[in-house]
Amino acid sequence: MTATVETIGQLLRAENHVIIDRDADAVFDFVADGMNNALWRPAVRSIALERGGDGQVGAIYRQILIGPGRRDIAGDYEITEATRPQELRFRVLAGPVRPRGRYSITARPGGTCVLSFALEVEPRGMARLLRPLVSRTMRDEVGQLWRLKAVVEGDPT
């Protein structure tokens, strides 16, 4: 369960995965409900469903994140693809850096699954100058999967 970051040309890509002791449907339902973000992502100050339904293409979540210097930054996002229970994709609509993200869920025997979380962004403008910070932030974000695992498995540490 080690988060990795790679650079492909101008593209930054961070990914992590974790084995969860729950079935793929339960894990998909958890990640599809954006309101759960605050349960496992410490940087989420607030979140609200603005439009659509949980796990549905076109759903938009208004999200305030704790940014550098503990300042609030927007992190609104939209679900762009949803294939239950295998994959959920989203794109960030607001904020200084606007990555695309993907949750991939692979069912395993015995009612467990592997959850992969990936973020990709091609920094533009001022964000290009902050590539090391953007890279570190993305690595930290996907690195939080252990928290999601603990919450889903009923052990919120």
Q: What is the pLDDT of residues 14-55, one digit of tens each?
A: 999 999 999 999 999 999 999 999 999 999 999 999 999 988
Note the pLDDT tens digit of each residue in 57-85.
Answer: 999 999 999 988 899 999 999 999 999 99
Note the pLDDT tens digit of each residue in 106-156.
Answer: 999 999 999 999 999 998 877 777 888 888 989 999 999 999 999 999 975
CATH of region 4-33+81-152: 3.30.530.20
Query: What element of type H or E holds 28?
Result: helix 24-32
Distance set, CA 52 to CA 56, 62, 83, 104 (Å): 7, 12, 16, 21
Domain boundaries, the chain: 4-33+81-152
Q: How many Cα atoms sit within 13 Å of 148 on the Cβ side?
A: 30
In terms of DSSP H, where are the helices of 86-130? 126-129
